[in-house]
Structure 1
């Protein structure tokens, strides 16, 4: 499938999605929403894709929502809530539901909803010169696209409130507070994730998310079901045989 607002490439176990509207710093308009949703679905269902990577181009990950794409005459009566439900909410729910590893490579500025989308990925890696900000409050809006859900879980409520005031932070600060996993490029992380057994990773991801809001008994039950499924998988059997051969040597 060909795309107008992004590029998609599959190779060496990775499905790489590149936001490609450099003239507006990869701001997300409705066309990009549609294409990004479709592309994520394509990568999700492709057995050749072990890891999904989302990145930007030309020194920017994404400058967030493309407000300039809204006709001026419609701004006064523009329904932000309706727009969210039709675009970002749908996209973030999909990102959260994908059972493959997802990596946001912040290879440049990530602000507003651009950063929100990165928060919905499993992992975040930022280049040294990347600037990160939730800039909603600076234009009289509240953080959205899942930021209010993911951010407090990643860095705690107090720090999430501070970051939501809109000041940008460096990659070093983002790493210090636990917002990103690494500084630099994601190559090493991607190689590790490609080796992760798919069935076990999917269940591990589900169990960890359940651990945030379910009771201990409920989580233990999720672990039981997940381990039962993983134990029947081909990747477990192959890994076990490999381990036993090593022990015999």
Structure 2
């Protein structure tokens, strides 16, 4: 797959997708949208890939949408809703179907839609000097690219509203409020994810994600169905055998 604004690499069952426009802090333009989507599809469909890591090139994760890529002379005529439908929303809906663990390694600034992409991953690990923010209101727009969905679920509605005022937060604050899972390098955490049974992980992810929109009785039934499927996998049989031989 030819890459320009996104790089793609697989090593030891880990696919690393890197936003690759370091000169503009990995601002997201139309080309990057297309290449990001292709990279996630490739990682998802590669049976050798067990974990997917999303990160940024250089010293930034992503500064968000590339406003300079928008035809500013026609600014008042732009329908941002149509743009979202063809770009971010298409990507986010696909990412939501991925059954493998996805990790955002926030190696620097992550703001606006850049942070939104990190929120869409299962896990987030941030460098100590990373800064994160939701800055849409500062340009007269509302949070998008899934931020309105993921952020309140991660930190609560009140904190999500506070973050949406636009002031960036540190990695330490992000960890304190549950926005990131770890501060530092991602390698040790990724190695832990590689040991997980992929079928059971995917089933668990689906049930937990669906729990917000279902009753307890419905979730219990979903657990029954997921457990029936997981119990018939080779991964389960081998794990039980290892346990019994200890």
Give the TM-score range, shorter chain: over 0.9
Counterpart of 1:211 in 2: which secondary structure? helix
Moved over 6 A (4+): none
Deviation at 1:58, TM superposition (A): 1.2
Paired residues, number:
246
Report the TM-score when normalising by structure 2: 0.98
Tell me which residue corresponds to 1:150: 150
Q: State the distance in 2 between where 1:212 and 1:13 align.
A: 32
How far the C-alpha of 1:210 sits from its partner, in A, is: 1.7
Report SS of the residue matched to 1:76. helix
Matching of residue 62 in structure 1 with residue 66 in structure 2? no
Q: Which runs of 5+ in 1 are unaligned?
A: none
Deviation, 1:13, is 1.3
Trace 1:78-97 onto structure 2 (pairs within 5 A).
78-97=78-97
CA deviations on 1:15-53 (whole Å, 9 max, x unpaired) are 000110011110110110001001100000111111000
Deviations 1:207-236 (A, max 9, x none): 111222210111011101111111111111
Give the structure-1-normalised TM-score. 0.97
Q: How far did 1:160 drift?
A: 0.5
1:106-117 alignment, distance < 5 Å: 106-117=106-117
**Which residue does 1:40 correspond to in 2?**
40
- Encode CA deviations 1:32-87: one digit per residue, 9 max, x unaligned: 00010011000001111110000001110001111101122222211111000110
Distance 1:215 1:10 in 2: 40
CA distance in 2, matches of 1:77, 1:71: 10
**How big is the alpha-carbon RMSD for the aligned residues of Structure 1 and Structure 2?**
0.8
Are residue 101 (structure 1) and residue 97 (structure 2) matched?
A: no
CA distance in 1, matches of 2:156, 2:73: 40
* Alignment map for 1:1-249 (pairs within 5 Å): 1-246=1-246
Unaligned runs of 5+ in 2: none
Question: What SS is found at the alignment partner of 1:144?
Answer: coil
- Measure the CA separation in 2 of the matches of 1:164 and 1:79: 22
